[in-house]
A and B are shown apart, each in its own frame.
Chain A
Amino acid sequence: MKFGLGLKIAAFTSALIFLIGVALLGVLVYQERVTLHNMKMDEAEEYTKRTSSQVGNALYNLDIRELRRVVRSALEGDVADLVWVLDDKGRLLTDGSEKPFLRNQKPPYPIVDMLITSKVMSNAMDEQHHWTGVPVMMGESTVLGYVVVAFASEHLNARLREHLIKQLLILIPALFFGVVAAFLLGRRIAKPLEALSAAAEKIGGGDWGVSIGVNSQDEVGDLAHTINIMAGNLSKVAVSRDMLEGIVAEKTAELQKHYDHLQESIEERTRELAQSEERFRGFAESTSDWFWEMDENLRINYLSERYEEVTGRPKAALMGMTRRELADPKSLEADAEKWQQHFNDLDEHRPFRNFEYDILSEFGGGVVTFSVSGVPVFDEHGVFKGYRGSGEDASERKMILEELRHSERKFRSIVQTTREGYWLIDPQTKETLEVNSALCEMLGFTEAEMLGKTPLDFVDEDNAKVFASQMATISDTDHRSYDIVLKTKDGGDLHTHFEASTIRTPDGTPRASFAFVMDITTGIQAQNELRQARDAADRANQAKSEFLSSMSHELRTPLNGILGFAQLLQYDPSTPLTGKQKDSTDFIIKSGNHLLELIDQVLELAKIEAGKISVSLESLVICEVFDECTPLVQGMADKRGISFAQDKSSCENVRVLADHTRLKQVMLNLLSNAVKYNCENGSITVSGETTENKMIRVTVTDTGHGIPKDKEQNLFQPFERLGHEASEIEGTGIGLTITRELIHLMGGEIGFESELGKGSSFWIDIPLAVENGRAEKEGTQAVPQLDDTLDNPIGDAGKTYLILYVEDNPANLMLMEHVLEMVPNVELISTHTAELGVELAAARHPDLILMDINLPGMNGIEALSWLKKRETTQDIPVIAVTAAAMPHEREKGMEQGFVTYVTKPIQIDTFLQAVRAAIQPS
């Protein structure tokens, strides 16, 4: 529905008139109310005063009947709704009724309290009544009582209503006429405009002949005149309808074409927009960022759905908040400068990127770090509308960065506090990037003096080559370890050890090279000292070995003569010895053997102490080894009437892992000691038992004198004979020492128990073999059986064998001559030098050569080598007959090619067996 101008004017004017009328009425009514109220107040007070004047005497006399009458009289006429007469305490005496309900009670109305308090005329209002009260006085100060009158407000309201009705009766007609006038006014104003509108419509319809008949002297009249002129002008333009229609049609077609094109463009743009939106949505959904917007007050008014997915926090908590409100107060305080910069950006409407801040935990989910970027948004007029941007949860990254920084700090702390130097260089330029205080202190340079320089600046020419070669491998190696001598600031040398590493980027490109530098100057010195000490020790050992070897040789050589000739004396059947002579030769042989034993033991102890003795462990039947030892001591035991008792039950077929020779040596030592230190006609008991730790314990118990307690601790000390040095009991004091060392070498243990006067028990624990099977012995020399008689021919009895003896010692030569004279089919030739020996060997081609090693000029080893190189002599067996009894000498000799290595002093029978074996190996 269209509301014309005239109607609008009429409505507006009517509304205005109405509003003015209502306002005016309200004012009048209010004024009237005030006036009536005041009048009513005056009337009420007057009425109350009048009533109170009538009750004075009755109050004084307490004449309730009279008071009742007065009250009833006052109530007549319906002026007052209620009249009370109260006593001086405000208690009701009468309200005009018989026996009033509130008799003797103070009516609970404010007017009563006001009267009692003020003792003057008082007024009060409530919704239904206007209250007036007055004290009834006798004199100036004595209150007889009070009169309270209540007037119904309805009276006042009735008066007001009456007045209001009167006013309305006046106002309504006035409003009516006003509305009518407004409509007439509107109509008057609208009519010319309607004429104008009709004319314009006609003109718009093509009828330019219209003429508007509005001649008022105002803007409307001017407009009508103008339109008339315009219509006239239009009619003057002589454009035919068809031509115009044609033009219009043409233009219309053109417009339609453009429209279609535009439509296509719109559709295409719409598609592109949809794709872009889809693309954007895809980016938004796939990215871990969320998008946000702020209004011009910098309050967040948009968060993409991604926010809740990424952060797990409700969007609602952030909506309407500013960044300052969201921020953790600690962050605001800690990063005040950063925040201020950000606020400045926001205030200046500048874009920002990657602004990180901690969001307050009250917004759910604990304290997290957001990283936001944003750009300001302006409308087409350049007015700032807010911000738009993206955000991400940077908590993890921050945490990682924190950890990285912490790790960096930790690394820095370690680098700076370590006593080792730290040197970081550029892998390309080799320039120093960083050093620590320890390195500076080592070299005596400051950090500033070192930065920018290369390591080559801190070495001499020789060490520069080392540096250069190492630095050349930075790209190719990850770790390099080398020693180098640096030059200190004061020109001194600093021996250092470099542990260098290459730091690479993920693609492997060297990013830096660092090294930890250790000052090894002290270590070098220590090494040098150690080396020197070791060299000295080696030299000492060497000297000791040479001494022992020399002593062994020097002692053995004369012993060879002593024992050899003594043996010859005993064994020469052509010249048998008398008993006394035999005793003497026995003593000579015995003493010689003792001396030889002592020499051997000393040499062995020396070898053990030097760690040069080794054991060859094999699986052995313990009882068999014991059985080998028993015969060797039986003779000695029989001489003293000592009996043997052997309990094999627990070790029958028990195998141990031990060195056969050394085990036998150990058992012989224990048995011989048990015999030597036993009592006459005593006994020796040998028993065995397996222990919990996979060993077998062999115990040798004697019935000797026992060992004093105070001497037990010296039992295993070398050369310690516990007081038997002056006794007839032979011994070197080294046997148990060697026995203990040998047992330990075999992984066993030795111990003893002794009781003075009763005897001693020596035990050895030997490891049980894992396999209880017979094992082959190894590393032992083939010892010929001693079952041949000395004068039996060797080899082929019908052949005479030629033996060449190379010996420079005449006594030994003589001994050998005498020994070999006993063999019927042997011819001996000899020489005293190795040079003559090899010539003689080449010339005479003996069947056997007996070679001393320690010879003047060419020694025996060299002679053997010469012989082995000659085709004519290489097959001749050569037996070494030498006092060089050291194991290494023996080994060396056997390696050179000796078939047998016989040490001096020789045992004739053993020697002859060796000769027979060499000549006839089968």
Chain B
Amino acid sequence: MGFTGEFHWQVCRSTGLRVLALMLLVLTLAVATPSWAKPLTFGTISAVPVEEVQVFQPFVDFIAGQLAGDGIDAGKVVVAENVNQMAALLKSGQVDLFIDSSVTALVVNKLAGSQFMLRRWKKGREQYRSVIFVNDDSPITALDDLKDKLIAFEEPFSTSGYMLPALVIRAQRLGLNEVANVKSAPISGRIGYVMAYDNETQAAWLERGRVQAVAMAEDDFLSFSKTALKPLRALFVTPYVPYHVVTHRSGLDARLVARIKSVLKSAHETEVGRGVLRSFEKTTKFDDIPQSLLDNVLEFEPFLQQVIAPQ
């Protein structure tokens, strides 16, 4: 699997939305609505768009309501299938704000020219990192030892389960190529990887020798360590990166950006706001991204193409 999947209905939908927006504009004008009011569009990447919209909409509506005096009359949610698609939506201005993991946001920023805006404390988590680990009795002691070995990642668009550990490996100037399945052999001198699409599968493959290493979020690693079939050993730990971030498209009004930032950053200060955030995937707050964390993310920028582009 990769980023090659087609998903046209979003495109159709955006067109319809444009028409509707126009009509609304006319109507608004007819009733003496300020002519510059427009919706604020949040974008996200997901394979289950219906559920995703259900999760995002209450939050989006709340924020939009806070920005009613700032020319925002509604809140919208747009779900893209992959990074490239989201980048296109941001670049075209169909999406104003993009919320996702920091590495994914980095990729989208590079493609769409968008910019980091705020950190989102999704599920109350401010940062996270990945762990590349092996069985404790494995002869592998360094990333370099993974040559000619297989590593299991979680899924292509998982920051902790793929992008982050992959960027680290790339940053070590190690070759990384995907193989078809766990029975496939990697290219000689390179590290082969396979997507397991499931943490438990990753752990099971490693425990039963299907792969020689696994990469996943640190919390997941610690959890699986407790129930591992045999002791596990961390081979490499990535730097911390923000768990979730909010980016904005380029060209978005700076005042509006500031205003949006203010609203997001103060959203948790009210009971209503906390309730809305809580229902939005247990978000606790939004804050500025610490520079150190942002630097950790930006360090991977030179290697993004190697991780994201198909090999």
Contacts and interface: CB of A to CB of B under 8 A. Distances in A.
Given A61-B181, A62-B204, A64-B204, A103 B198 contact: no
A99 B208 contact: no
A104 B227 contact: yes
Contacts of A104: 207, 227-229
Contacts of B198: 63-65, 68
A172 to B, nearest CB: 54
B205 interface: yes
A398 interface: no
A99 B216 CA distance: 14
Interface in B195-215: 196-201, 203-205, 207-208, 210
B157 interface: no
Residue with the highest number of chain B CB atoms closer than 10 Å, among A64, A87, A98, A105: A64
B201 A63 contact: yes
B182 interface: yes
A93 interface: yes
B172 interface: no
Contact of A62 (B201, B223, B227): B201
A68 B200 contact: yes
Nearest to A93: B204
Contacts of B182: 61-62
A330 to B, nearest CB: 75
Contact of A99 (B197, B210, B224): B224
Contacts of B203: 64
A61 B152 CA distance: 13
A94 B199 CA distance: 12
A94 B203 CA distance: 12
A789 B307 CA distance: 195
Interface in A42-84: 61-65, 68
A106 to B, nearest CB: 11
B123 to A, nearest CB: 15
B229 A91 contact: yes
A105 B228 CA distance: 9
A63 B204 CA distance: 8
Interface in A393-408: none
A68 B181 CA distance: 19
Nearest to B223: A99
A542 to B, nearest CB: 142
Contacts of A94: 200
A61 B210 CA distance: 9
Interface in A84-113: 87, 91, 93-94, 98-99, 103-105
A99 B200 contact: yes
Contacts of B208: 62, 87
Contacts of B205: 62
Contact of A103 (B196, B197, B227): B227
Contacts of A98: 200
Contacts of A61: 181-182
B195 to A, nearest CB: 11
A204 B227 CA distance: 97
Interface residues of A, number: 15
A87 to B, nearest CB: 8
A93 B227 CA distance: 11
Contacts of B197: 65
Given A94-B200, A99-B223, A62 B228 contact: no
A96 to B, nearest CB: 11
A64 B199 CA distance: 9
A104 B226 CA distance: 10
A304 B127 CA distance: 98
Contacts of A87: 208
B9 to A, nearest CB: 25
B200 A64 contact: yes
Interface in A482-499: none
Nearest to A65: B198
Nearest to B199: A99
A92 to B, nearest CB: 9
A98 B220 CA distance: 11
A104 B228 CA distance: 7
A62 B229 contact: no
B162 to A, nearest CB: 15
B204 A99 contact: no
A104 B207 CA distance: 9
Residue with the highest number of chain B CB atoms closer than 10 Å, among A62, A87, A94: A62
A248 B223 CA distance: 111
Interface in B162-189: 181-182
B227 A65 contact: no
Nearest to A102: B227
Nearest to B198: A65
A62 B224 contact: no
A62 B200 CA distance: 10
A57 to B, nearest CB: 12
Interface string A545-572: 0000000000000000000000000000
A805 to B, nearest CB: 168
A95 B129 CA distance: 28
A65 B227 CA distance: 17
A104 B227 CA distance: 6
A61 to B, nearest CB: 7
Contacts of B224: 99
B211 to A, nearest CB: 10
Nearest to A101: B227
A99 to B, nearest CB: 6
B229 A65 contact: no
A63 B205 CA distance: 9
A99 B227 contact: yes
Contacts of A65: 196-198, 200-201
Contacts of A62: 182, 201, 204-205, 208, 210
Contacts of B201: 62-65
Nearest to B197: A65
B300 to A, nearest CB: 27
Interface in B221-266: 223-224, 227-229
A298 B227 CA distance: 75
Interface in A462-500: none
Nearest to A58: B201
Contacts of A99: 199-200, 223-224, 227
Nearest to B208: A62
Nearest to B210: A62
A1 B201 CA distance: 82
Contacts of B200: 64-65, 68, 93-94, 98-99, 103
Nearest to B224: A99
Contacts of A91: 229
Residue with the highest number of chain A CB atoms closer than 10 Å, among B200, B223, B224: B200
Contacts of A105: 227
Interface string A712-723: 000000000000
A63 B208 CA distance: 12
Residue with the highest number of chain A CB atoms closer than 10 Å, among B204, B207, B208, B228: B204
A98 to B, nearest CB: 8
A307 to B, nearest CB: 78
B180 to A, nearest CB: 12
A103 B228 CA distance: 8
A743 B203 CA distance: 141
Interface in A403-432: none
B225 to A, nearest CB: 11
Interface of B: 181-182, 196-201, 203-205, 207-208, 210, 223-224, 227-229
- When A and B form their complex, which 7 residue pairs have the shortest distance between CB atoms, in order from nearest? A65-B198, A64-B200, A64-B201, A103-B227, A104-B229, A62-B204, A64-B204
30 contacts: A61-B181, A62-B182, A62-B201, A62-B204, A62-B208, A62-B210, A63-B198, A64-B198, A64-B201, A65-B196, A65-B197, A65-B198, A65-B200, A65-B201, A68-B198, A68-B200, A87-B208, A91-B229, A93-B200, A93-B204, A98-B200, A99-B199, A99-B223, A99-B224, A103-B200, A103-B227, A104-B227, A104-B228, A104-B229, A105-B227
Given A63-B201, A64-B201, 4 more contacts: A62-B201, A62-B208, A65-B198, A87-B208
